[in-house]
Amino acid sequence: MNAIAQLLGRTGLLKVDYHLLRAAMVIIFAWFGYDKWFESEIRGLLPIITHGPLISWTIPVLGIRGTGILLGTSEWTFGTLLLLGFWNNKAGMLGALGSTFTFIATFTAFPFVPDAWDAGAGGFPAMTNNSAFLLKDLVLLAVSVYLLKEDVKRIVTPGRALQSSELKAGAPRLADN
C-alpha cells in the first residue's frame, strides 16, 4: 500500500485537484444552464422548485419561463466566472460564491420535496429520483466551498496560488491575480 501511495505522490496526478474540480464545475454549469432554457426541464423540476424554501418564490413571481431564464442565466454566469477563475482569482471567487449560493438554495429543498422516499422500499432512507437528484447537490456544495476557500486564499495571499512544495514539484501556475 505504501508503494502505491508513493507512486501516486510522485506522478503529480494528485496535484491537479483544484483545477480538475474547477473544470468539472464549469462543465456542470454549462450543461445544467443549457437545460434550464427549456420549459420541459423547469416543469420536471417543479416539485423541487416549489418546495425549496429559498427558491419557491421564483414560479409565482417569474412564471415557468422566467424561472428558466433566471436559472439558466445564473448558471451560465457562475460557470463563466468559474472558467475565468483559471486566469483571474477574483472572477473565480465570484463564480465560486455564486455556485455556493446555488447549491445552498437547491439542497435546502431536500427535506421538503414530495415523494422523496420510496414507500415500496419502506420509505426513509430509500430514496426516489427526486431526493437522489438533490443529494448530488451536497457534493457540488462541498466543491463550491472548496473552490471559494482556495480562491479567497489566493486573493488574500497574492503570488501564493500553490503551496511552495507544489511549486518545487513543477506544478503549473495558472492564476496569481
Domain segments of the chain: what residues? 32-161
Give the predicted TM-score (pTM) of the model.
Answer: 0.81
Q: Give residue 112's pLDDT band: very low, low, confident or very high (50, 70, 90).
A: confident
Give pLDDT, residue 158. Answer: 75
Q: Give residue 90's pLDDT band: very low, low, confident or very high (50, 70, 90).
A: very high
Give pLDDT, residue 161. Answer: 52
pLDDT average, residue stretch 109-120: 83
- Ranked by mean pLDDT, the top range of 73-82, 107-116, 125-134 is 73-82
pLDDT average, residue stretch 38-52: 91
The answer, yes or no, to whether residue 170 has pLDDT greater than 70, is: no
Mean pLDDT for the chain? Answer: 86
* Share above pLDDT 90 across residues of the chain, in percent, rounded to a whole number: 62
Give pLDDT, residue 128. Answer: 80
The answer, yes or no, to whether residue 123 has pLDDT greater than 80, is: no
The pairs formed by 165-174 with CB atoms below 8 angstroms and a separation of 24 or more are: 166/15, 169/12, 169/15, 170/12, 171/12, 171/15, 172/19, 174/19, 174/86, 174/87
Buried b or exposed e, range 90-116, using 16+ CB within 10 angstroms: ebbbbbbbbbbebbebbbbbbeebeeb
pLDDT average, residue stretch 22-34: 97
